[in-house]
Amino acid sequence: MQAIDFLPEHYRERRKQCRVRWWWALVVCLFGGIVVTTSSLQFLNVQRIKHEVTRLESQVATVRQLDQHLLEIETKVATLSHSANLYTFLRHPWPRTQILAAVVHPLPPNIELSSIRIAESLVAKASAVSASTEGSENVAQPHPAIADLQQLHDSHDSQRVMVVIEGTAREVETLHGYLEALAQHPLIVEARLNSLETRKLETHSLVVFQLQLSTRPGHGLTDGPSGPLVNQVPPATATFREEALR
């Protein structure tokens, strides 16, 4: 059955316009909601970014303070390192106890030492080429500890510690074995026999000898060790004819 619409045409037109207005209102509300939501999200993002910037600025300030503190520490360490190098070099001559330990440890029972003399001797030093002084006024002056250390190096490079050993042995073979053992010690550069004399006694014969040892240059010097010496041995005891060692 067909429905008959008796309403006038302008009523139908008004209904259509009302529907259109409702749709427009809905679209405007949706668009307004999207704009408000987007603005809110952007505002929250801006606030979050501002908070991150504030936090990063605080971290940057902390890092700059730490960097400045690190620079001060490095400068202080460099200064103390120069002083430590100078202090270490001032104690560089081999302690006499180490030299005595190197001499006494391989000593055989049938060798008696009468004297041990430790002294410094001069050695030939290669002539250094003098540096040009042109523009020296523009060169920065080194740290006082560095200058003192270099001066000490120059003055000690031509000095070596020598050890002269005198004593007696029952057999020449034992003496040569002792001399070879001394030459193998890391503290000793050269061990040589200066004199050898055989003396006849009533019951046996004695070999009177004199040895000369050249020790290695100290730490920091030319040809000196860069680290601790290996094969170091504890000091041993021996029989001496003279109690006072010169």
Q: Could you read off the pLDDT of 148-196 as tens digits, one per residue?
A: 777 776 666 667 788 999 999 988 899 999 999 999 988 888 899 999 9
Return the exposure string of 79-109: e unless at least 16 CB atoms fall within 10 Å of the residue's CB, then b. eeebbebbeebeeebbeeebbbbbbbbbbee
Does residue 18 form part of some domain? yes
Does residue 173 form part of some domain? yes
Q: How confident is the model at residue 135, as a pLDDT?
A: 47
Q: How confident is the model at residue 116, as a pLDDT?
A: 92
Please classify residue 28 by burial: count the beta carbons closer than 10 Å to its beta carbon, then call 0-12 exposed, 13-18 middle and 19+ buried.
Answer: exposed
Do residues 40 and 50 share a domain? yes
Task: Label residue 128 by pLDDT band (50, 70, 90).
Answer: very low
Could you tell me the residue range of the domain that residue 195 belongs to?
A: 92-124+144-246
Q: By C-alpha distance, which of 184, 193, 173 is closest to 233?
A: 184
Write the DSSP symbol of residue 158: T
Checking if the pLDDT of 91 tops 90, the result is no
Checking if the pLDDT of 95 tops 80, the result is no
How many domains, in total, are found in the chain?
Answer: 2
Do residues 87 and 167 share a domain? no
Does residue 136 form part of some domain? no
Contact 123, 157 (CB under 8 A): no
Does residue 101 form part of some domain? yes
* Cα 212 from chain centre: 36
Do residues 181 and 86 share a domain? no
Distance CA 52, CA 106 (A): 73
Give the mean model confidence (pLDDT) for residues 224-228.
Answer: 64
Return the exposure string of 53-64: e unless at least 16 CB atoms fall within 10 Å of the residue's CB, then b. eeeeeeeeeeee
Do residues 106 and 87 share a domain? no
Task: Label residue 119 by pLDDT band (50, 70, 90).
Answer: confident
Q: Which of 91, 115, 133 is the last residue of a domain?
A: 91
Does residue 87 form part of some domain? yes
Give the mean model confidence (pLDDT) for residues 45-52.
Answer: 91
Contact 159, 121 (CB under 8 A): yes
Does residue 130 form part of some domain? no
Give the mean model confidence (pLDDT) for residues 61-87.
Answer: 88
Give the mean model confidence (pLDDT) for residues 201-225.
Answer: 80
